[in-house]
Amino acid sequence: MPTEADPILATELTKDEYARLAAESTFVLPVGILEEHGPHLPLGTDTFQVEAVVNEAAEATDAVVLPTMNYGNCHSTQPFPGSISLPFDTVRTLAEEILRELARHDVASVAIVSGHAGGGHMRALKQAGRDVLGDHPQMRIALLSEWDVLFPLGGETLNGETVPEADGHAGTMETARIRHLRPELVDDSPPGEHFPQEEGFELASEPDEGMPKGYMGDPSRATPELGEGLHDAAVEALKELFDDLAPEGEPGL
């Protein structure tokens, strides 16, 4: 049983608590990945970020947090050590079967929140949601990556720091967020600006040709203050989403 100061975790519920909350609360499926993030950030960067924002938003809204789906699909980072990329159909099937089990137990609303924003990865999650909605149209399913909320903030000022207008994988924003959340895991001297050359219309023969150094942006500009501002912005967006998705009634234990 979680306390009032903690998010409601599905792993800590009894079967009867779970059954009651299924009709009253938004259930949240965080999705992470084990993936390289340059020479300066840990492999679990996307997982650390999504779990932190989901838990904080869920605590404020009485959403129920499911165990993290901790593997996904990546392309340009796949060749690097530490990246574990599952095939598209594996990611889709895993997400779909989780959603179908939630539907079987009459869960009314689900938010899938991914810390990883790879194109194939997000398409797999979207297809899973659509397939389940085809059989369970009474459910409400939302899908987003945190970066759907954060990248549009480019040029704005958060917590006294300017959000970069051009950034990417393991760049300023991700480095700032991990400096805020897990500073002990960030290299003391992160690399400087690097933007890989655009591929144009020609396809690369090797996936990592589009990101040869394993990052994109300027990690050296990252500050924990910017990371905190980005974290707070993501939390506020998720709080609104979780509340909007919640079924009618009084959620919470």
Tens digit of each residue's pLDDT (9 = 90 or more) over 195-236:
887 666 666 666 666 688 999 999 999 999 999 999 999 999
Q: Please, where are the H alpha helices in the chain?
A: 15-22, 45-61, 88-104, 119-135, 146-150, 172-181, 224-245
The two beta strands, 161-162 and 157-158, are antiparallel
Residue 78 is given by DSSP the state T
Give percent above pLDDT 90 in the chain. Answer: 87
pLDDT of residue 252: 42
Using CA atoms, how far residue 28 sits from 72, 77, 83, 147, in Å, is: 17, 27, 25, 17
pLDDT of residue 212: 87
Tell me the CA end-to-end span of the chain in Å, nearest whole number.
9
Average pLDDT of span 172-186: 98
CA–CA gap between residue 37 and residue 77 (Å, rounded) = 8
Residue 101's CB is within 10 A of a number of other CB atoms, namely 10
- Average pLDDT of the chain to the nearest whole number: 93
pTM: 0.93
pLDDT of residue 150: 97
CA–CA gap between residue 147 and residue 127 (Å, rounded) = 19
Q: How many residues does the chain have?
A: 253
Contact 167, 154 (CB under 8 A): yes
Q: Where are the domains of the chain?
A: 8-196+205-244
Amino acid at 130: R
Buried b (16+ CB within 10 A) or exposed e, 239-248: bebbeebbee
- Examine the pLDDT at 249 and tell me if it is beyond 60: no
Residue 21 φ/ψ, nearest 5 degrees? -70, -25
CA–CA gap between residue 215 and residue 208 (Å, rounded) = 10
Three-state DSSP class for residue 99: helix
- Examine the pLDDT at 55 and tell me if it is beyond 70: yes
Residue 115's CB is within 10 A of a number of other CB atoms, namely 29
pLDDT of residue 197: 73
CA–CA gap between residue 82 and residue 45 (Å, rounded) = 12
Query: Which range has the top average pLDDT, 2-16, 37-51, 189-203?
Result: 37-51
CATH of domain 8-196+205-244: 3.40.50.10310
CA–CA gap between residue 213 and residue 37 (Å, rounded) = 9
- Examine the pLDDT at 2 and tell me if it is beyond 60: no
Higher-confidence residue of 250 and 79: namely: 79
pLDDT of residue 209: 64
pLDDT tens track for 78-107: 999 999 999 999 999 999 999 999 999 999
